Amino acid sequence: MRILISGSSGLVGSALTSSLRSSGNEITRLVRASASTTQRDKASVAWNPAAGQLNPADLEGTDAAIHLAGENIAAKRWTPAQKAKIRDSRVSGTRLLAESLARLARQPKVLVCASAIGYYGDRSDERLNEDSAPGSGFLAETCRDWEAAAKPAIGRGIRVVHLRLGLVLASHGGALAKMLPPFRLGVAGIIGSGQQYMSWIALDDLVAAVSYVLSNEGLRGPVNAVAPDAVTNHEFTKTLGRVLRRPTVFPMPAFAARLAFGEMADGLLLSSTRVEPQRLLASGFRFRFPELKAALEHLLR
């Protein structure tokens, strides 16, 4: 297949690009028009989602599209300007890509759009699946509008999958890599009450899940990309400490998290989202790392 990928240089995108190429697929990277010449090559297409610039003719011949691009939600404090940037990078980019694909003479069969479990909001210990109602707050509203932006593609008969990503675990990047230094120094601990649920997925399983939904025509709409083993922050902290053989006795109280991270603390660190991958499991997908301890041992040992 000829597969178009946005966000191909990110943690998930780079791993996915490598995997899909090794399986014999032709990859075309969707890169920002301002990208350096080292990032641009004959297998790339330029776009500028902020300016609404993308030439549909450059996408002709695309069999499938994977849309991962978007502003990093944890890169900076959530000022009003940064929140607008986070939202617009997702909503505007998705709408532009969906509209461009919809205008092609031959549309791709499938568009896989990244979304996030932030869609469900802070829900305590409630078990959540793809049929659960959306939550409230900045992340939930952003995810709702993000997914809605793909409607032009759906209207043209393209199968659209909204992959609601949990915390992606990888040793070389993302949230886990940022956690490792304090954990290895023995100065880490639970955050807030520690009772908030964390829904996670190993990078290897996420790459496999994306490949799976590309070929599984029965999957469309929201699909939760999380392992079956959602854990509390307390469980996550203690398990990571045991795998690293380091103590975890320095908690971060909720007030300290809010002082350090502002509104982001409530949205990412203190909120509880207990998500189940109901549609992946029901369709027959098998996780290589369904449990946290085995996933962390694979990644870190």
Domain assignment present for residue 245? The answer is no
Pick the closest to residue 300 from 189, 211, 216, 184 (CA basis).
184
- Give how far Cα 39 sits from Cα of 30, 59, 172, Å: 10, 18, 21
Domain assignment present for residue 256? The answer is no
CATH of the domain at 63: 3.40.50.720
Domain with 6, as residue range(s), is 2-168+201-226+274-287
- 206 touches 165 (CB < 8 A): yes
Domain assignment present for residue 243? The answer is no
Domain assignment present for residue 233? The answer is no
Domain assignment present for residue 235? The answer is no
Domain assignment present for residue 69? The answer is yes
Given the structure tokens 């990277």, which residue do they identify? Answer: 29
Rounded to 5 degrees, φ, ψ at 278 are -60, -45
- List helix spans (H) across the chain: 11-22, 80-102, 138-148, 151-155, 174-185, 203-215, 233-244, 254-261, 263-264, 278-283, 292-300
The span from the CA of 293 to the CA of 238, in Å, is 10
Q: What pTM was computed for the model?
A: 0.95
Number of domains in the chain: 1
Given the structure tokens 């090559």, which residue do they identify? Answer: 41
Domain assignment present for residue 117? The answer is yes
- Give how far Cα 26 sits from Cα of 18, 104, 107, Å: 11, 19, 17
Which amino acid appears at position 207 of this protein? V
pLDDT tens per residue across all 301 residues of the chain: 999 999 999 999 999 999 999 999 999 999 998 754 445 566 899 999 999 999 999 999 999 999 999 999 998 999 999 999 999 999 999 999 999 999 999 999 999 999 999 999 999 999 999 999 999 999 999 999 999 999 999 999 999 999 999 999 999 999 999 999 999 999 999 999 999 999 999 999 999 999 999 999 999 999 999 999 999 999 999 999 999 999 999 999 999 999 999 999 999 999 999 999 999 999 999 999 999 999 999 999 8
Domain assignment present for residue 210? The answer is yes
